[in-house]
Each structure stands twice: as structure tokens, then as C-alpha cells.
Amino acid sequence: MPEPLEPRPAWAPHLPDGTLPTDVDLAPGGSLPGRWLQRWAADGARPVLSDGEGPWVGGGELEERSRVVAGRLSGLGLARGDRLLVSAASTVELVVAYVAALRLGLVVVPANTAYREPEVAHVVADAAPAAALVDDAERGRWIEAAAGERSIPVLGVEVDRPDHVADDLDRNVLADPALMLYTSGTTGRPKGAPLTHGNLLASATAVQLAWRWTPEDRLVLALPLFHLHGLGVGLHGTLAAGASAVLRPSFAADDAFDAFARHRATLFFGVPTMYARLARSARLAELRSLRLCVSGSAPLPAELHEQVAVGGGQRIIERYGMTETVMNVSNPHDGERRPGTVGLPLPGVELRLASGSGEIELRGPNVFGGYWQRPDATAESFVDGWFRTGDIGELDDDGYLRIVGRSKELIISGGYNVYPREVEDVLRSHPGVGDAAVVGVPDAEWGEAVVAHVEDADGVDEAELLAWARARLAPHKRPKRIHLVAALPRNALGKVTKADLTDP
């Protein structure tokens, strides 16, 4: 009697025609640099990166330059497993330093370039980096101050140090940590989420398959490389596919349209805020020159999806990822792209909805193993080996996932995570404030706007509190509006009932 056939996985619709689930290898090369070096060895002259203005850098040059920088980092005394804090704008030099760090076996800790001193100090104290690479002198001084007596070296991304031969390159395995990103969770301050080479490579390979990413593709990458969307999806995906990318230091609609035309781009990845600005442009029809547009990091309004489809000829692929799990779900390349949904599980990803709550739970090679030095938070986030996302979802009859809410209070504004308690603590630190409550309010441009309600503001006005927040928080965390109230709504136990807060 023949053996029963294996059930077709939920992610099978993402595979190109002729590809069987059993053919899928989500870890080619054995590590991130291992995969990239395979690509560069095959064709070292092929263009890989450009800043949009200067000459293209090929794979052979990236290998050589990253080897030199890895040697310089080794000469500083950095060794496998050490953490390297990196906070800089997107440039080719930053990518070279990043590749070098991974080849040396370092764990890169990206920090948002808009962080203020208290935010930088938290990352330095928690991650205890052995060195830092920055492109801003003030940020460098904050890092040095936070390090205190540990006295870590703070350098530019060029790593302008004497050359040194590193004899411990390219020895990573899938289980080795590669990145540690900080994410706001359900309690307390941002937590470190270590991601292994295996986690990151599995996701890069999954989206390469799902989005039909080939060496002929060229991505305009205006997302920052301190964020997983730009780094773990845009850059890793480009290098894993053997494709090329045009790095832009920031996003502006006209700059993006110019880059599409000048560099004959085929791909653009963005957050809904970016697509809203492209849709308002008189040049929206120029999106038709691209092969594919992808949106993530926040919900894409269905009306914006249709606006871009009609005016720009692009049915945007919406997908769903998290810092702890990289990429999870995507609308299909070849099948129907349903507005308001994030699609089907990506290759290798298992997804289920918790009974009763509908909370989305995930399992697969993309899922991290737990938070940095936080066994309590790790234990709370896993059940029977499944990661609890805190997002509430529902599946339609065809298995498409729709995210309908969050069990966590996380706010997503402009594609960035904002945890209310961090903003509340900053406002409470003002001597004229008694208490504060922060919520996310639907916003056509930002997805959600950060709005604060402040109680017992003794002689303080909104402008003063906005300035207070501006000096202490990155732009995406700052309240868009602050309402001064006589008393915050509370339950019988004195806890603020945020559902009763209104935004006039």
C-alpha cells in the first residue's frame, strides 16, 4: 500500500511553478555572509550597491573591502560573539562595515539615528557593546558617557584604523547570533531580540522565493538600515538574491521617482506613510515602471491600496513581519492580492490562531529563541514552542490572514514601534505633570498617531510638553497632540481606562 502523501503546506502557493515544497532550502550558504560570498564569487563584477550618486560597487569589491574592515575591527580586539553598536545613515560604507562585522562573527546592534541620549544610554547599558560605529559626534559622546568606566572605542563607519589581518573570518553557522534589535514589548523598556544567521537567512530566502526576486532586480531602498524592514528584508534580500540596490539616505517622493527612472529600478519597499505620499504626487503613474511594490511595518489602508492600483498600476503586496520573527506572511506574487489582508504564511512559516483569543502564534526557522537576558519575558512569549505575537488575527476561507487588533498596547506610527509607557515616563518626568496616558489614534498618513493625555499639568501648556518630549524622544515616539485634562478616566482600582480616552 503506498505511503500517504504529505499534506501541502499553507505556504505552498508562494512557490514558483515547478517548485515542490521538498525542493526548498531556506539556508543556502550556511550563514548570511556565506550566501552572499557564494553570489559574489560567481560574478564579482556584477553591480550590487550604489548610493544613487557615485559608482556602483560590485560583489568582488564588497568582499575585498569588508575583509579589510573586518581586519581593522579584529585589530581593535573585537572577536566572535562581541556586540558592535552601529548607528548611522544608509551608505555603502555602512554596508561594508556591517558585512565585515558579520564575517568576523560579531553581533551587530543597530540603533535608530534619531534616538536621544536616554534612549542611546539604555541600549548601551543593556547590550554592553565592545565598540560602536556612528556617523554623528554627539551620538558618539552619548555612547562614551553611557559606557562610563568600560571605555569602549567609538569610531566612524569607515573604521579608520591600522590594517590588520583577521584570521577568524567566515566561520559562522546558522545558530550563531548575527543581530540584536531592540523592540518595545508589553512591559518596561525596549528589550534586546537576538536573531541568528539562520533566522535572517530563512526569511531572506523565503521572500526571495515568494516575490520572485532574481539577480536582474534592482531595489530602491529608502528605508533606514537600523530598522529590520530596511536591513533584514531590503538589504539581506538583495544580497541573498544576487540582485542590486540603490541606497537613499531618506525618503522623499520626488527622489524616489527620480531613482526609479535613473536606475531602471524594478522593486520598491515602503511603509504605508511612504505610499500615501507617492499617491499624492502628480507622478504616481511612474510607479508603472516597477515590477513589484511591497508594503509592511504597519497596516496598509484598503483605500490606499486601490488608489495606488488605479493611479500607479501597482497592486501592492502587503506582508507581515516582526522584530522577533523577521518575515511571517505575505500576499502572493502570482495569486490574488487582497486589500486589508497580509496574505499567506511564507515558506517555512507555521501559523495558528490561539483558541478563544485569536492571538497569532508562529513557529519556524525565522523565529528567534528568546529575549536578551530576559528569561521572564521569553517565558511569557512562548507557549509549547510557538511564539505569541500579541496580534489578534482572523483567517478567511482561503487562509488569508487579516490582523484585526493587538493584545499589546504597541502603537505603530509611520512603520515604527512606539510603546506608550516609554512616552508616558518621559512626560511624567516633567515637574509640572502629575500623570500621563498615551494611545494610538488612527491617522491617514502615519497609520497611527501618538496622542497623549496629561493630568494635573501645573501651569504647563501643550507647547512646553511637546518641546520636553522633543528633547528626549525620537521623532516617531513624540506625541502628535497632547490633551491637558483635569483627571484621567480610571477604574475602581485606579488604573487608567485608555478605552475611555477621546481625541477631540
Burial class of 42 by CB neighbour count within 10 A (0 to 12, 13 to 18, 19+)? exposed
Q: Report the C-alpha gap between 34 and 198 in whole angstroms.
A: 11
Q: Report the C-alpha gap between 401 and 331 in whole angstroms.
A: 9
Tell me the average pLDDT across 172-187: 84
- 198-236 per-position pLDDT tens digit: 999 999 999 999 999 999 999 999 999 999 999 999 999
- 237-258 per-position pLDDT tens digit: 999 999 999 999 999 999 999 9
Give percent of the chain with pLDDT exceeding 90.
80
Q: Is residue 317's pLDDT more than 60?
A: yes
Tell me the average pLDDT across 112-124: 94
Quickly count helices (H) and strands (E) in the chain: 14, 25
Taking residue 233's Cβ as centre, other Cβ atoms within 10 Å add up to 27
Three-state SS at 139? helix
Q: Is residue 493's pLDDT more than 80?
A: no
Strands 344-345, 326-330: parallel, antiparallel or unpaired by DSSP?
antiparallel
Q: Report the C-alpha gap between 232 and 110 in whole angstroms.
A: 11
Q: Is residue 495's pLDDT more than 90?
A: no
Q: Report the C-alpha gap between 383 and 380 in whole angstroms.
A: 8
CATH number for the segment(s) 31-172: 3.40.50.980
Please report which confidence band the pLDDT of residue 186 belongs to, taking 50, 70 and 90 as the band edges. very low
- What DSSP state is assigned to residue 475? G
Who's near 349: CB < 8 A, 6+ residues apart?
11, 206, 327, 328, 329, 362, 363, 364, 366
- 404-454 per-position pLDDT tens digit: 877 667 788 998 888 788 898 899 889 888 889 999 999 988 999 999 999
Category of 105 on φ-ψ map: left (φ > 0), alpha (ψ -120 to 50) or beta? left
What local confidence, expressed as pLDDT, does residue 497 receive? 81
Nearest to 457 by CA among 478, 442, 479, 436: 436
Domain with residues 411-500, CATH architecture? 2-Layer Sandwich (3.30)
Nearest to 312 by CA among 246, 233, 257: 257
Give percent of the chain with pLDDT exceeding 70.
96
Sign of the dihedral through C-alpha 358, 364, 368, 369 = positive
Q: Is residue 330's pLDDT more than 60?
A: yes
Average pLDDT, rounded, for the chain: 93
Cα-based distances in Å from 467 to 56, 113, 427, 464, 481: 42, 19, 11, 5, 12
Q: Could you tell me if 361 and 351 are in contact, meaning their C-beta atoms sit under 8 angstroms apart? A: yes
What local confidence, expressed as pLDDT, does residue 6 receive? 57
What local confidence, expressed as pLDDT, does residue 485 receive? 92
**Rg over CA atoms, the chain:** 23
211-315 CATH pick, 3.40.50.980, 3.20.20.70, 3.40.605.10, 3.40.50.300: 3.40.50.980
Cα-based distances in Å from 21 to 18, 24, 25, 269: 10, 6, 9, 26
Q: Report the C-alpha gap between 34 and 236 in whole angstroms.
A: 12
- Helix axes 420-428 and 462-470, enclosed angle (nearest 10): 120
What local confidence, expressed as pLDDT, does residue 421 receive? 80
Q: Could you tell me if 39 and 205 are in contact, meaning their C-beta atoms sit under 8 angstroms apart? A: no
Q: Report the C-alpha gap between 263 and 290 in whole angstroms.
A: 11
**E strand residue ranges, 8-87:** 47-50, 57-58, 83-87
Indicate the range of 255-259, 366-370, 492-496 predicted with least confidence. 492-496
Backbone torsions φ then ψ of 209, nearest 5 degrees: -65, -50
Q: Which helix (H) or strand (E) holds 96?
A: helix 92-103
- Helix axes 92-103 and 59-75, enclosed angle (nearest 10): 60
Q: Could you tell me if 436 and 453 are in contact, meaning their C-beta atoms sit under 8 angstroms apart? A: yes
Indicate where the chain has its CATH 3.40.50.980 domain(s): 31-172, 211-315
In DSSP terms, 392 is beta-bridged to 359, 405
Q: Is residue 185's pLDDT more than 60?
A: no
What local confidence, expressed as pLDDT, does residue 498 receive? 85
- 42-82 per-position pLDDT tens digit: 999 999 999 998 899 999 999 999 999 999 999 999 999 99
Q: Is residue 2's pLDDT more than 60?
A: no
Q: Could you tell me if 240 and 205 are in contact, meaning their C-beta atoms sit under 8 angstroms apart? A: yes
Residue 79 has, within 13 A of its CA and on its CB side, a CA count of 2
In DSSP terms, 388 is beta-bridged to 361
Indicate where the chain has its CATH 3.30.300.30 domain(s): 411-500
